[in-house]
Amino acid sequence: MANDISLNPSRDDFAALLDESLGGRDFMEGQVVHGKVVAIEKDFAIVDVGLKTEGRVPLKEFTAPGEERPPLKAGDTVEVFLERVENAMGEAVISREKARREEAWTRLEEVYAKNEPVMGVIVGRVKGGFTVDLGGASAFLPGSQVDIRPVRDVGPLMGKEQPFAILKMDRPRGNIVVSRRAILEEARAEQRTELVSQLQEGEVREGVVKNITDYGA
């Protein structure tokens, strides 16, 4: 009498058993997956992403600017980036921070394709410019792209959400270059166009002398 289960399963049989053990879900390393918070332990969230093991994510990766601890509790559904199905400790290696980065890159690529501005915050100084947080993805703001004119003190601009133009994106290398100057130049051009359209010959308007030269003011 033939047995339902072979004592020497083939590779296909093993793959089928493995797929069944994972609940039939297609878990791929390097992707963003949904998980469920099963517990909060000290500074970590224990997240079940449907595997036989769970992953640990630092709470700081869920914390928004200005928050001490995220409003996270057991039972919440979160999106995390699956780096490895299992490490040497038998745990899934997952990251909320990398999930946010992947989400941000997808959103920014759509914005870049439409040539639209994106909101960001200048968060630090680096060689040759500044670092801008674009809601999960970091971008480089060259010093020459901060303003139309040279800025001596960038302090008032840091930590303030404002629009930027994306000049360049390279996802494989993780590089994004943005410009605040481009936004200001576009706004100034629009204002100039509007002003010129309103001017009429013979009209008297007040102005401010910007410079005195040999040939006039």
The partner residues of 121 in beta bridges, in order of sequence, read 133, 161
Angle CA 36–38–40, to nearest 5: 120
Overall pTM surpassing 0.75 (yes/no)? no
- Write the pLDDT tens digit of every residue in 33-70: 888 898 898 889 889 888 677 888 888 888 766 667 77
- Write the pLDDT tens digit of every residue in 62-78: 876 666 777 888 888 88
Mark 5-15 as b/e (b = at least 16 C-beta within 10 Å): eeeeeeeeeee
- Write the pLDDT tens digit of every residue in 185-215: 988 876 777 666 666 666 676 767 766 776 6
Handedness of CA 28, 29, 33, 35 (dihedral sign): positive
Query: What's the pLDDT band for 25 if we cut at 50, 70, 90?
Result: very low
